[in-house]
Amino acid sequence: MSQTRPETPKSTRGVLLFNLGGPETLEDVYPFLLNLFSDPDIFRVPRLIQPLLARIIARRRAPKSREYYRQIGGGSPLRKITDDQARLLEEALNREKTDVHWKVRVGMRYAPPRTADALRELVDSGVNDLVFLPLYPQRSRTTTGSSFREALAEAKRIAPGLSVRTIPSWPVYPPYIQSLAETVGDALRAIPEEETVHILFSAHGIPEFLVTREKDPYEADTNATVSAAMETLHSLHPRRKLFHHLSYQSRVGPLKWLGPETRLELSRLAGEGVRHLVMVPVSFVSDHQETLYEMDILYGQMTRDLGYKTFLRAPSLNTRPSFINALASLLLEASDPPCASAPCFCSCGACPKQSG
C-alpha cells in the first residue's frame, strides 16, 4: 500500500513595497508635509535646525496643498491603490508553483502604513527572508535610497537576523516597459492614425546638483525608461508618426532642478505648432496628486489655453494586470541572488551588498 509523502513545508518570503505615501484626508496634509521635510534625503539642512524648519515649511505649504487635494476629492488615493497592488501581487506570486509562500505588505515613507509597522507585521507572520521592492522604477537617493535606509535600520532593530534582499531599480525591465507602452497605446487610440502625435514623458523633478555633483542616477534611469518605451511604441505602432520629449514637474524651492520644466515644455511645443499631445507619467506607477491635480487639472487647463487640439494623459499603471504581472516576474527572477537586479547606486549605504 503506497503512502502519500507529506508536503515539504513552504518557506515564507516577505515583500515590502515602498512608496512615498500621501494624505488620505485634508487633516493629514500637515503631518505628511512635516514627515517629508523632516527627511534629510529630501531637505538638506543642518540636523539641529531641521525639526524647526520642517515645521515652519510644512505650516506654510499646508494651505495650498490642502486646496490641491480638495480638488481631487479631499485626499490622495495612493494608499488604496498601493494596498490593491500589494494584494494582487501577493495573489499572482502565490499562483506560481514554487516552494515559497509569499506575503506582500506596503511601507510608506511619510504616511501610514509606515515601514516599521509593515516590517513588524511581516516578521510576526513568520517571514524567513525579505525582499525590498521600491515602486520607483528609476533610482534616486531621494526615493529608493531614503526608503532603503529607513527600512534597513528598522529591520536591524526589529529582527536583527532577518535576511534582506533588494531590487534597487527596474527602469528598463521589459515587462514593465511593455505595460507602460500599453498605457500610451490606450491614449493613442483616441487620435486618428494619420495624425502626428507628440508624447511628453513627465517625471518628478529633483535638484540638479544631486545629478551633477552627487552622481544620482535618476536622470540616466529616466532617460533609459523613455528610450525603451519609445522603442516598444514604434514597434507596436509602426504606421504612426510619433515624436517624444522628456520634462520634469513638481519643482519647489529656489534650487535649480532638472529640466526642462513640464509647463515650459508645454508652452514650447505649442509655439512650435504641436496639436496632438499625449502626456505620460513616467516616474509614477500610481495615481496621486502629481497625476490627478498637476497633470489632469493644471496642465489640462494649460493645454486648452495654449490651443492644443488634443491633450490626453496616458493612464497610470495602478493595478493594470500586465503591470502586476511585471512586478511578480521581477520578484521571481530576482529571488535568488543575495542582492538582486541592480548594483548599489549611491554612497548612502542603502544596499546590503554595500553596507555589509
- Same domain (yes/no): 210, 102: no
Question: Does a structural domain hold residue 337?
Answer: yes
According to the model, what pLDDT value does residue 9 have?
Answer: 58
Residue 2 lies in a domain: no
Q: Which pLDDT score is estimated for 248? A: 98
Q: Are residues 162 and 33 both part of a single domain?
A: yes
Mean pLDDT of 252-259: 90
- Select the more confidently predicted residue: 339 or 172: 172
Averaged pLDDT score across all residues of the chain: 92
pLDDT at 43 exceeding the cut of 90? no
- Is 150 marked within a binding site? no
pLDDT computed for residue 334 by the predictor: 81
Q: Does some domain include residue 5?
A: no
Q: Greater confidence, 75 or 4?
A: 75
Indicate whether this model's pTM tops 0.85. Answer: yes
Closest CA to 232 of 310, 176, 291: 176
pLDDT mean over 126-131: 92
Quote the cell numbers at residue 72.
Answer: 481631487
State what percent of residues in the chain have pLDDT above 70. Answer: 91
Q: Are residues 101 and 116 in the same domain?
A: yes
Q: Is residue 4 part of a domain?
A: no
pLDDT at residue 265 greater than cutoff 80: yes
15 with 164, same domain: the answer is: yes
Q: Are residues 89 and 203 in the same domain?
A: no
Q: List the domain range (segments joined by +) for residue 212.
A: 174-313
Average pLDDT over residues 118-135: 95
Q: Both 190 and 308 in a single domain?
A: yes
* pLDDT value at residue 343: 39
Mean pLDDT over residues 275-282, rounded? 99
- CB contact at 8 A, 165 and 337: yes
| Phi and psi based region of residue 50 (left: phi greater than 0; alpha: psi -120 to 50; beta: remaining) | alpha
Percent of the chain whose predicted confidence (pLDDT) is above 90: 86
What residue has cell string 540638479?
208
Asked if 242 contacts 281 with a C-beta cutoff of 8 angstroms, the reply is no
The per-residue pLDDT for 44 is: 86
**Is residue 350 scored above 50 in pLDDT?**
no
- Shared-domain flag, residues 34 and 55: yes
Q: What integer pLDDT is reported at residue 252 of this predicted model? A: 86
Q: Are residues 29 and 156 in the same domain?
A: yes
User: Span 87-108, mean pLDDT?
Assistant: 95
Cis peptide before 260 (omega within 30 of 0): yes
In a domain, residue 1? The reply is no
Q: Is 262 found in the same domain as 228?
A: yes
pLDDT above 50 for 346: no
Read off the pLDDT of residues 194-206 as tens digits, 9 standing for 90 and up: 999 999 999 999 9
Q: Is residue 111 part of a domain?
A: yes
User: Does the pLDDT of residue 112 top 60, yes or no?
Assistant: yes
pLDDT reading at 289 higher than 70:
yes
351: alpha, beta or left? (left if phi > 0; alpha if psi -120 to 50)? beta
Q: Binding residue per annotation — 204?
A: yes
Q: Are residues 165 and 183 in the same domain?
A: no
CATH number reported for the structural domain that contains residue 238 in this entry: 3.40.50.1400
What is the per-residue DSSP string for 96-132? S-SSEEEEEEEEESSSSSBHHHHHHHHHHTT-SEEEE
pLDDT at position 336, please? 55
Query: Do 122 and 186 belong to one domain?
Result: no
Q: Mean of the pLDDT values across residues 227-251?
A: 98
Domain total for the chain?
Answer: 2
Quote the pLDDT of residue 7.
Answer: 52
User: Does the residue 3 lie in any domain?
Assistant: no
**Residue 321 pLDDT more than 70?**
yes
pLDDT at position 207 over 60: yes
Identify whether 285 is part of a domain.
Answer: yes
The verdict on 149 and 262 lying in the same domain is no
Residue 167 near residue 139 (C-beta atoms within 8 A): no
| Over residues 160-179, mean pLDDT | 96
Candidates 88, 72, 79; CA nearest to 320 is 88
pLDDT of 173 over the 90 cut = yes
Eight-class DSSP state of 298: I
